[in-house]
A and B are shown apart, each in its own frame.
Chain A
């Protein structure tokens, strides 16, 4: 008899949780840019490793051949953010992460998209990965560390949703 209560509680809790998942999940899919709907992107573990603040805005990093792409939007309403400076660095065919010449920055366009050519990223510290930073002050700082599905890929993308300060 004593066991009955926890069982019913568990069932009720599961039903409530399922309802919550369905409600948030479905509405998230249907109206992605609804007010307070878009959560800010959290920084990734290890994202800020070998960060050198103030990388210059460049046409491309080194000789190019690899594309780092992505978007920048505002948390909450999902408004694309224009002219936002994104800093990028990685271990590439032309240098280690800590080398200043492996670092560069670019600005987002009117659609909140950015795209910077850089040398081919090669596996380092066990994974082919890149680093991106938003660290300009108007929004909370975010460091990303996306991993390539395969070392043979010639592009990598990462999206930012920024929280106004």
Chain B
């Protein structure tokens, strides 16, 4: 990839990630929220943005961050994603404990809560697999299938969660970010043959 195309790719990615964050950071709803609630919401927006970055890093698609550098950064971004989700849920807990208890116990009146909680547990499981990859001694094909299947659940459920929430994110920039995260995830799953375990004979 030439420098011009690389710059264009980074500019497009930067826009897709920073625009929704910028829109959320200037939402009129923020005027009526405590700092902890604002932080909680923003952590959720940042987590959505990281979901677009994660598959691109894992597959080494980004100019200057080919494999193995992209894969290495994927681990750090994954840790940041877990951190963002913890801040998101923790900040919401401080803001309104009963609403978070309802969500975690799947008894919330809001349908999007369940999607968020499923995405959270799938993320923790995917991150755990990532952290224990060497120690688990799984066959690479098995490990990759498990990790990417969980990642797919994370992305799908997070998109459902975000799209159903009426919050600080702008409708258009949110939809664009979600669409791109879905597309990037789907492309990486295909390119990395994540389903090889299911489609090929195991010797």
Chain B residues contacting A91 (CB-CB under 8 Å) are 32
Say which residue of B37, B108, B112, B164 sits within 8 Å of A45 (CB atoms): B108
**Judging by beta carbons under 8 Å apart, are B92 and A125 in contact?**
yes
Given known contacts A45-B102, A46-B99, A96-B95, A123 and B109 CB-to-CB distance under 8 angstroms: no
Given known contacts A45-B102, A46-B108, A145-B109, A122 and B96 CB-to-CB distance under 8 angstroms: no
Say which residue of A93, A97, A126 sits within 8 Å of B167 (CB atoms): A126
The chain A residue sitting closest to B168, CB to CB, is: A123
**In this assembly, does B80 line the interface, its C-beta being within 8 Å of a C-beta of chain A?**
no
- Mark interface residues in A106-142 (1 if CB within 8 Å of B CB, else 0): 0000000000000000111111100000000000000
Chain B residues contacting A122 (CB-CB under 8 Å) are 29, 32
Say which residue of B98, B107, B112, B167 sits within 8 Å of A123 (CB atoms): B167
**Judging by beta carbons under 8 Å apart, are B109 and A45 in contact?**
yes
**In this assembly, does A11 line the interface, its C-beta being within 8 Å of a C-beta of chain B?**
no
**Judging by beta carbons under 8 Å apart, are A46 and B32 in contact?**
no
- Please report the C-alpha to C-alpha distance between residue A93 and residue B29 in the assembled complex, in whole angstroms: 9
**In this assembly, does B191 line the interface, its C-beta being within 8 Å of a C-beta of chain A?**
no
**In this assembly, does A151 line the interface, its C-beta being within 8 Å of a C-beta of chain B?**
yes
Smallest beta-carbon distance A3→chain B, Å: 37
Using a CB-CB cutoff of 8 Å, which residues 16-74 of chain A contact chain B?
Answer: 44-50
**Judging by beta carbons under 8 Å apart, are B96 and A96 in contact?**
yes
The chain A residue sitting closest to B108, CB to CB, is: A46
Q: Is the interface of B mostly helix, strand, loop or mixed?
A: helix
Smallest beta-carbon distance A65→chain B, Å: 13
**Judging by beta carbons under 8 Å apart, are B166 and A126 in contact?**
yes
**In this assembly, does B165 line the interface, its C-beta being within 8 Å of a C-beta of chain A?**
yes
Smallest beta-carbon distance B40→chain A, Å: 10
**In this assembly, does B15 line the interface, its C-beta being within 8 Å of a C-beta of chain A?**
no
**Judging by beta carbons under 8 Å apart, are B96 and A127 in contact?**
no
The size class of the interface chain A forms with chain B is 20 to 34
**Judging by beta carbons under 8 Å apart, are A128 and B166 in contact?**
yes
- Please report the C-alpha to C-alpha distance between residue A123 and residue B33 in the assembled complex, in whole angstroms: 10
Say which residue of A50, A92, A151 sits within 8 Å of B98 (CB atoms): A50
- Mark interface residues in A87-100 (1 if CB within 8 Å of B CB, else 0): 00001111011100
**Judging by beta carbons under 8 Å apart, are B112 and A126 in contact?**
yes
Using a CB-CB cutoff of 8 Å, which residues 66-110 of chain B contact chain A?
Answer: 92, 95-96, 98-99, 102, 107-110
Smallest beta-carbon distance B118→chain A, Å: 16
Smallest beta-carbon distance A53→chain B, Å: 14
- Please report the C-alpha to C-alpha distance between residue A66 and residue B157 in the assembled complex, in whole angstroms: 35
**Judging by beta carbons under 8 Å apart, are A93 and B32 in contact?**
yes
Given known contacts A91-B32, A127-B166, A151-B166, A97 and B96 CB-to-CB distance under 8 angstroms: yes
Binding site for B on A (CB under 8 A): 44-50, 91-94, 96-98, 122-128, 145, 151
What are 27 A-B contacts with C-beta separation under 8 Å? Answer: A44-B109, A45-B107, A45-B108, A46-B99, A46-B102, A46-B108, A46-B110, A47-B109, A49-B98, A49-B99, A50-B98, A92-B32, A94-B32, A96-B34, A96-B37, A98-B96, A122-B29, A123-B29, A123-B167, A124-B37, A124-B96, A125-B96, A126-B110, A126-B165, A126-B167, A127-B166, A145-B109
Q: What are the 7 tightest A-B residue pairs by CB atom distance, in nearest-first order?
A: A45-B109, A49-B98, A46-B109, A126-B165, A123-B166, A125-B99, A122-B32
